[in-house]
Amino acid sequence: MAKPSLPKSLKVARRGAIAIVTLARPEKRNALNDATVLGLERFFDTLSAGVKAVVLNAEGKHFSAGLDLSELKVLSTEDGVAHSRVWHRIFDRIEFGRVPVVTVMHGAVIGGGLELAAATHIRVAERSAYYALPEGSRGIFVGGGGSVRLPRLIGVSRMIDLMLTGRTYGAEEGQALGLSHYLVGEGEGLAKGIEIAKRIAGNSPVSNFAIMNVLPCIAEQDRASGFVMESLTAAIAQGSGEAKNRIKAFLEKRAAKVERKL
Ligand code: 1HE
């Protein structure tokens, strides 16, 4: 497939089965303008079949200052709804897409930047990372799916606190609350993100699909529907050729054990 034309604010690199997409507008602290968000959609829509996992990271001192406020000031109310719906479409495309996405965060992870990170599957934070939702003080509201995704991560009460008071959470607080899954030293995030992405890329695609797309649906269903959907998904996964080969490999002592390495 031909390389998609992406805006200057995005850079792409490939490492085997991993694609790395980098927010590259550090002079504006990676503020998310329309070109960048639409570029992310194009990037995910045109991923080649050989890509099994994506790492999202950012250049400069900050992951993202959130929505590009210079673009917002010209929007009418109707435009505002349409704009927010575009973010919803694109972030949903990432969350329920074909490949898992590992985000590496550092510095400011603010507003729409946090909404973007929350739409991805694994989050690695460097120690400089800090989180904020300053929408209250800017006279706006989250519009990139934050009010749907973030309460599921940290609870509605904490999100109310973030939005009403403009407080920040540091990297360690974010780790304790579930905003990140991994906390690493400064400058170590990308290597960790790639290591995790490689591990994910080695899974069966059927299992990865079920984990990304089915598990979140089950978690929001009533128990009875959840159990039925789980049993169907389990049966489909274990009936796949990948499962048969992988289980055979384990039983023949050709596959890795699950050991805790300290
Ligand atoms: C921006 C933006 C932006 C920086 N939109 N241009 N987000 C916010 O309320 C966060 C606003 N930004 C900041 O608080 C600070 O910029 C930072 C703490 C992230 C970084 O500070 P610093 O001192 O390193 O950089 P700076 O000098 O403030 O900014 C550098 C340039 O980036 C400057 O432009 P310049 O032309 O004067 O060089 C800034 O104007 C520009 N810049 N952040 C536009 N956000 C889907 S709804 C989601 C709703 C939200 O995301 S609300 C959160 C908005």
Give the per-residue pLDDT at 75: 80
Q: Angle at the Cα of 88 (from 179 to 44), degrees rounded to 5?
A: 85
Question: Is the distance from the beta carbon of residue 134 to the nearest atom of ligand 1 less than 6 Å?
Answer: yes
Per residue in 149-197, pLDDT tens? 999 999 999 999 999 999 999 999 999 999 999 999 999 999 999 999 9
Reduced 3-state DSSP string for 115-128: HHHHCCCEEEEECC
Residue matched to tokens 């490689």: 198
pLDDT at 262 over 80: no
Question: Is the distance from the beta carbon of residue 142 to the nearest atom of ligand 1 less than 6 Å?
Answer: yes
d(CA 223, CA 226): 5
pLDDT at 50 over 80: yes
Model confidence pTM above 0.95: yes
- How large is the average pLDDT for residues 103-131? 98
Task: Calculate helix-pair angle for 77-95, 34-45, nearest 10 degrees.
Answer: 30
Residue matched to tokens 């991993």: 18
SS3 111: coil
d(CA 57, CA 7): 16
Question: Is the distance from the beta carbon of residue 145 to the nearest atom of ligand 1 less than 6 Å?
Answer: no
**Of the listed 27, 41, 95, 115, which one is catalytic?**
115
Q: What percent of the chain has pLDDT over 90?
A: 95
d(CA 145, CA 7): 23
Distances (CA, A) of 258 to 69, 101, 110, 196: 47, 23, 37, 16
Give the per-residue pLDDT at 247: 96
Confirm whether 230 is a catalytic residue: no
Amino acid letter, residue 174? G
Give the per-residue pLDDT at 261: 79
CA–centroid distance, residue 227 to ligand 1 (Å):
45
pLDDT at 93 over 60: yes
pLDDT at 72 over 90: no
CA–centroid distance, residue 43 to ligand 1 (Å):
24
Q: Whose CA is nearest to atom 3 of ligand 1?
A: 68
CA–centroid distance, residue 63 to ligand 1 (Å):
11
Question: Is the distance from the beta carbon of residue 131 to the nearest atom of ligand 1 less than 6 Å?
Answer: no
What's the mean per-residue pLDDT of the chain? Answer: 96
Q: How confident is the model at residue 2 (pLDDT cuts 50, 70, 90)?
A: low
What DSSP string describes 194-211? Answer: HHHHHHHHTS-HHHHHII
Confirm whether 259 is a catalytic residue: no
Q: How confident is the model at residue 4 (pLDDT cuts 50, 70, 90)?
A: confident
Per residue in 184-231, pLDDT tens? 999 999 999 999 999 999 999 999 999 999 999 999 999 999 999 999
Q: Is the Cβ–Cβ distance between 99 and 48 less than 8 Å?
A: no
Q: Give the CA count within 13 Å in the CB-facing half-sphere of 181.
A: 13
* Atom number, ligand 1, closest to the C-alpha of residue 87: 46
CB-based burial label for 50 (10 Å; 0-12, 13-18, 19+) = exposed
pLDDT at 3 over 80: no
Tokens of residue 30, six digits: 């990676």
d(CA 225, CA 232): 11
CB-based burial label for 8 (10 Å; 0-12, 13-18, 19+) = exposed
CA–centroid distance, residue 65 to ligand 1 (Å):
5
